[in-house]
Structure 1
């Protein structure tokens, strides 16, 4: 943007208002303000528009959603020159912790109602969100919406500390209506009230987004302390029976209108814990479920969803779900087909429901995957040869698994169905029947956004599928995890020309089963960090 201003100001200023607005909207707001404020009268009118001043993000956001501070030079201009001029227009601020104090104290913000605080170290957060803290006292009565992302590198104390911070936030911000509490950590710690159950209550909170450790933590948040809560989005690590004090799971929740439950670990407590919770939500209008369920006798299908959930929610108008249910095949007599499962959804309204049923004889397990389409989630796991297809634009991580071999055409379908996949894991030890055929007539498969490829549990044929340049064209800067001996065989002792091009593109190579890497191996991967 600064280059445009330096070399093309005359041409830029000569463009029609509509074109200028289109150009400016493609830029980050802080770039627009930093580069154009006070340049001339006409451009000044543009940059003072509420589009660029009401919701202001003063940090850089990378492709993996990590946050980084702006440069000191740029921030200094905001402290001294920009924020004091537009302070009364700002309604929402997203800021990174290292510049938090300077930004919030450099001027007053009379109309600020929303605040996003990112990369906040946990000890600092414990100190910040307390009564009497000068910084928070300035805004504790005017903030209605708060997004906070905390990080912690302490495995032991994270859960307890998160509970303290959460409690303090709810207590300090007297008029808080919406809270998004995101605790990130290298140990993936979440909010939990197991160690201590603090006493707090809020009659103003209407919307809550939170990650918790156990199902009891969800029940704890729904025990009446947030009696006006309308929207709850909750991610639970484990849905299991608790050996601790059991929290009431029977009182109705008449005010809850929207509920989203996400858990990516399997549970056998669907009937015992999840169904009773959902049946308390008598006036629910929107429901979103992401669950992995182990069943005793039968898969979760449309009939069970209607009988156990939908029939208890007369106001529901949107129900989206991504449910994978499984059961042991031992002692099973009547095995349902995919057509049987799909038939149970014939009278579902406002949704297209997809089902996929697989039976695995080696592990004696059956699986049924049912989901709403279009698919809204970022991950799609355990894709088999029965994959029904479709376009999944939101999915960035997939895993492939089957007891039957994968063919080249299967990988072609996968690349087309998941155009933005970044991480791919393949688990299959069955030799492909067609990968040894002459493949000149086959199209070269591309994964343009792929950055992580895990083939540790894959047969040699699938290593070849991804590394031979006439079968797959890998993008630059891929991390590959693979067994050393398998890679050695596929690359013909690291001398095969057909795999050389893709191997040169690897950013990082994680080798399993080998400690000392010979020099000739390093030469075959000239641009690769070998682990």
Structure 2
């Protein structure tokens, strides 16, 4: 380190700043603070001290504490010496109490609290009140509540209590992100919303909710200064629709609505709800719609949404709408759909149409795909693009998916975590193609973030596609597969096939439709517990 410091010391400050800004702030501070007077001045710059992430963020969507030597150095030396400069801290649950108690942070206004287990979330928040930090100085808060320790789903009423407790404790909050990252999470449900769930200071809220009714409760006046709302809804239906308030939502300037489940109530619920937001300046829609007679296209968006928002400056959308073939007299083409956007200023709108014989047709329209969380059902007609925020995909087609399709999939969805595949058609080129020198002429695909794979309704060829290690390389990240026992037995040649052994050895969880794998397969799945 001494030799490295000498070499760095020869560089001008401007070059050092460029180098250090490419590193994590914790790395810069841990390695260079108190090395010499010059480095001390540089690394104490607000660029490196304003916001600190004092945890390890791994690709399996979990956060872990810093190694003990690094955490000790921060607690004993670094944090006390820069405490006046720190404005935001990102912490994980196990080290949170120690870091917050090691010193006071007079200028701290933002906190990100991650991996809070449901059993301890409220107590950890209460413990925050016992630190020397003034809870009223916290203006921004990110709360990431994960699942129970035993893997069960969160109780909705428990998360409602935590949400209410946060609002009571942090009385001056202006920004709150209460969108847990766990795949087991269920949206917040307000069965009987307490009048104490309110805030006169909150300006921006990010939240996952159970239904549209819960979203209406959020907007019924209890957050009277709220101007930005990002909401992820489990389902949109009329079953729980008890709040029929039709007043204009004139305070809202930015609204984002995401729902990964298909809804039949676009015309009856979503359109009237959006038309109440007359002063909206930014709108984002990520929806899967079962349409009754027509697709959601450019004409529909303009007539029923855009024309009701005179101040709208930016519209982002990814909408998949499907219609039964029996409801269609004229089958629209991709060009027909694209022509409905001819009056839109943005020329980056992408659209295409899928036709499923004797079933239905589906229209996809999207703009600004880098912002989208859901994509709907994906087929061979998918034109590509980059979707860095999408984590869950459903693949379904009546035509086979070839290996090249999965290559495109990985490039377009680089951070995909959950894939569900339904396709009963065999691949046309399922045999391993080899060149004259015996080397395969197609690329091995890597899905480094994949954690869950569901293959019910998939032909054996697609099970081979994911399990043969010369086609797809699976990660070592708590991978779980849902699959029929008989298919897995066939593809693995009764759990003896070498070509599928490596990927099967990476599995940490396996659901075989209620069956158990046989005793002789124990070594084939070394990380999967015997059910």
TM-score by length of 1: 0.87
Alignment partners' CA distance in 2, 1:417 and 1:28: 27
Please name the residue that 1:237 is paired with.
234
Is 1:218 paired with 2:215?
A: yes
Kindly indicate whether the alpha-carbon contact (under 8 Å) linking 1:351 and 1:372 is maintained by their aligned counterparts in 2: no
Alignment partners' CA distance in 1, 2:84 and 2:476: 45
Q: CA deviation at 1:226?
A: 1.6
Alignment partners' CA distance in 2, 1:40 and 1:437: 59
Structure 2 counterparts to residues 116-195 of structure 1, below 5 A: 116-127=112-123, 134-135=129-130, 138-153=133-148, 158-183=155-180, 187-195=184-192
Is 1:323 paired with 2:319?
A: yes
Call closer, same or farther: CA 1:220–1:63 in 2, change over 3 Å.
Answer: same
More displaced 10-residue stretch of structure 1: 335-344 or 15-24:
15-24
Call closer, same or farther: CA 1:385–1:34 in 2, change over 3 Å.
Answer: closer
RMSD between aligned residues: 3.2
Is 1:389 paired with 2:348?
A: no
Structure 2 counterparts to residues 91-490 of structure 1, below 5 A: 91-127=87-123, 134-135=129-130, 138-153=133-148, 158-183=155-180, 187-243=184-240, 246-361=242-357, 364-435=359-430, 440=435, 443-450=441-448, 451-452=450-451, 453-466=453-466, 472-474=471-473, 477=476, 479=479, 482-490=483-491
Q: Describe the superposition over 1:376-397 as per-residue Cα deviations: whole angstroms up to 9, x where unpaired.
A: 2244342212222334444454
Q: CA deviation at 1:365?
A: 2.5
Alignment partners' CA distance in 2, 1:151 and 1:526: 27
Q: Describe the superposition over 1:477-505 as per-residue Cα deviations: whole angstroms up to 9, x where unpaired.
A: 484654443344445556667x3686577
Please name the residue that 1:60 is paired with.
56
Call closer, same or farther: CA 1:55–1:133 in 2, change over 3 Å.
Answer: closer
Call closer, same or farther: CA 1:141–1:297 in 2, change over 3 Å.
Answer: same
More displaced 10-residue stretch of structure 1: 420-429 or 316-325:
420-429
Q: CA deviation at 1:359?
A: 2.5
Alignment partners' CA distance in 1, 2:59 and 2:33: 28
Kindly indicate whether the alpha-carbon contact (under 8 Å) linking 2:391 and 2:416 is maintained by their aligned counterparts in 1: yes
> Could you say which structure has the higher strand fraction?
1
More displaced 10-residue stretch of structure 1: 396-405 or 282-291:
396-405
Kindly indicate whether the alpha-carbon contact (under 8 Å) linking 2:505 and 2:525 is maintained by their aligned counterparts in 1: no
SS class of match (1:356): strand
Call closer, same or farther: CA 1:515–1:352 in 2, change over 3 Å.
Answer: same
Aligned residues: 520
Call closer, same or farther: CA 1:333–1:171 in 2, change over 3 Å.
Answer: same
Call closer, same or farther: CA 1:490–1:116 in 2, change over 3 Å.
Answer: closer
Kindly indicate whether the alpha-carbon contact (under 8 Å) linking 1:507 and 1:529 is maintained by their aligned counterparts in 2: yes
More displaced 10-residue stretch of structure 1: 372-381 or 509-518:
509-518
Q: CA deviation at 1:183?
A: 3.9
Call closer, same or farther: CA 1:475–1:98 in 2, change over 3 Å.
Answer: closer
Please name the residue that 2:66 is paired with.
70
- Greater relative contact order (Cα 8 A, min sep 6): structure 1 or 2? 2
TM-score by length of 2: 0.87
| Unaligned residue ranges in structure 2 (runs of 5+) | none
